Amino acid sequence: MGYLKTYGDTILFHDGLFSWMLVSTDYEFNEFMHSSSVHIEKSNLYHFFHGWLGQGLLTSFGSKWRNHRKVITHSFHFSILQQFIGSFDGVGDNLLKKLESEAGKDSVEISQLISLYTLDVICEAAMGVKIHALDSGNSQYVKSIKDMCNIVADRIFSYLSPRLYMLTANYYKEKRALRIIHKHVDAVISQRIEEHNQKAKKSESSQADDFGVKKRLAFLDMLLDARIDGKPLSRKELRDEVNTFMFEGHDTTSSAISFALFAIATHPEVQEKLFDEQTQIFPSDWKSAHASHKQLMEMKYLDMVIKETLRLYPPVPFYGRKLAQDVDFKGTLYPKGLTVFLFPYGCHRSAKYFPEPEKFIPERFENWTGKLPYAYTPFSAGPRNCIGQKFAMLEMLAIISKIIRKFKLAPARPEHEMQLAGETILISKNGVNISLEKRL
270 and 408 in contact (C-beta within 8 Å)? no
Q: Which of 151, 232, 147, 146 is nearest to 189 (CA)?
A: 232
Taking the C-alpha atoms of residue 14 and residue 12, their distance in angstroms, rounded to an integer, is 7
Backbone angles phi, psi at 20, to 5 degrees: -80, 135
Q: Say what the alpha-carbon torsion angle 225, 226, 231, 236 is, to the nearest 10 degrees.
A: -100
**Which segments of 199-316 does DSSP mark as H helices, in order?**
219-225, 235-265, 268-281, 293-297, 300-312
Closest CA to 121 of 129, 111, 113: 129
Within 13 Å and on the Cβ side, how many CA atoms surround 136?
A: 7
DSSP states of 355-376 as a string? SSTTS--GGGGTT-TTS-TTT-
User: Is 386 one of the annotated binding-site residues?
Assistant: yes
**What CA–CA distance (Å, rounded) separates 253 from 394?**
11
C-alpha 289: how far from chain center: 26
CA 435 vs. chain centroid, Å, equals 24
- Decide if 342 contacts 321 (C-beta within 8 A): yes
Residues comprising the binding site for heme? 386
Residues comprising the binding site? 386
